[in-house]
Each structure stands twice: as C-alpha cells, then as structure tokens.
Amino acid sequence: MDAFKISKSEIPFGSDKEYHVFLSFRGPDVRNTLVGHLYEALTVAGLNVFVDSHKLEKGEIIGLSLERAVENSSIRIPIFSQGYADSAWCLKEAAAILETPSKIIPLFYDVDPTDVRYPLNDSSPYKQAFLRHYGHPDRYQEKEIDGWKHALEEICSHSGWSRDITGG
C-alpha cells in the first residue's frame, strides 16, 4: 500500500484536534480490506486515526460520537465504495465532513468519481440508494437528502485517490 505513505509532518493538524485522521466508509464494503491496510499504514506513521470499530466506546451514542470525531479530526478521508450511499450514516458523515474546515482527501474504491458526484445519474451505483432514501419521507427529509447530494458533489471537487480495483 505504498500509495498510502503519509508522514505525520504532512498532516495539517492543530493542537486542539484529538485525531489526525477520520476514516468514513461503508463497513461491509471495505472494513476488512482497504480500511485495514490504510489504518495500519497511518498508525505505523504515528497518526491517531479514528475508525469506528476501534474508537467507539460501548454505551456511547453513535451519532454524537461520530459527529464529535469528525469535528476533532485534522484530515478526513471518505472512502467511497459501491455501497457507501446505502448507508444513511455514511451520507451523514459526508455532510458533517464539510461542516468544519479541514483537509479532505476522497478515496474512490471501485466506484467512479463522476458517479459519486452525480448520484442520480442513470450510470451511478448510488442512484437506487438515493431513490430509497427519498422514498422514506418518514425517516429522512428531502432537504437532508439534498444536503447529502451536495456533500458528495463538494467532496468530489477535492483531489483524491481513484483506483479501479476490479482490474479492468
């Protein structure tokens, strides 16, 4: 995973930040593959990395803990995968990533950046997930879902990593 070599001196962190890096990802897609390698590489470099499975305390309110972790991170790496938009938690994290100024480095894992930027395009693997979210007005307000779409568009305007892991 040489592409993920990052030294502590490259991270623009302030003294008030608890974490150097916050990783946002859809667990079933990448937790035991990419995220494991990335987490190891970053921690070996001496960085304090927030990954929900390692840092959430039992009994904590998940939403508040994630929001606090996003706010208390100097760099945020959303890892967009095929199933990222299926998770309202992931989309909420994406929106929270934009709320506080920090460095954002998107990582596109087996998904095209254009499909993430425009989730309602017919070619986007996110289209069906967004239509499901819109179809549940009892759970999510249209304004909130529109905010998620805006967050994806803005995050995709940042330079990041994109790699087709299918080998095609």
CATH number at residue 79: 3.40.50.10140
Mean pLDDT of 46-73: 71
Residue 27 counted as domain residue: yes
Mean pLDDT, all residues of the chain:
84
The answer to the question of residue 123 being in a domain is yes
3 state DSSP class of 106? coil
The whole-angstrom separation of Cα 71 and Cα 100 is 6
**Number of domains composing the chain:** 1
Q: Is the pLDDT of residue 154 over 60?
A: yes
- Candidates 47, 118, 129, 120; CA nearest to 82 is 129
Place of tokens 């039992």: 58
**Predicted model pTM:** 0.84
- pLDDT band at 101; cut points 50, 70, 90: confident
> Is 24 within 8 Å of 75 (Cβ atoms)?
no
User: Would 33 be classed as within a structural domain?
Assistant: yes
- How far apart, in whole angstroms, are the C-alpha atoms of residue 43 and residue 39? 6
pLDDT of residue 165: 52
Does residue 7 form part of some domain? no
Secondary structure of the chain: what % helix, strand, coil (to 5)?
50, 15, 40
Residue 8 within any structural domain of the chain: no
For residue 95, the enclosing domain spans 17-163
Q: Is 70 exceeded by the pLDDT of residue 38?
A: yes
Residue pair 119/85 in contact (Cβ under 8 Å)? The answer is yes
Q: Is residue 127 domain-resident?
A: yes
The arithmetic mean of pLDDT across residues 69-91, rounded, is: 93
Residues forming the active site = 93
How high is the pLDDT of residue 9? 57
Give the pLDDT of residue 66: 75
Across residues 139-150, what is the average pLDDT? 95
Tokens of 22: 């916050």
Given pLDDT bands bounded at 50, 70 and 90, which one contains residue 100?
confident
Residue 5 lies in a domain: no
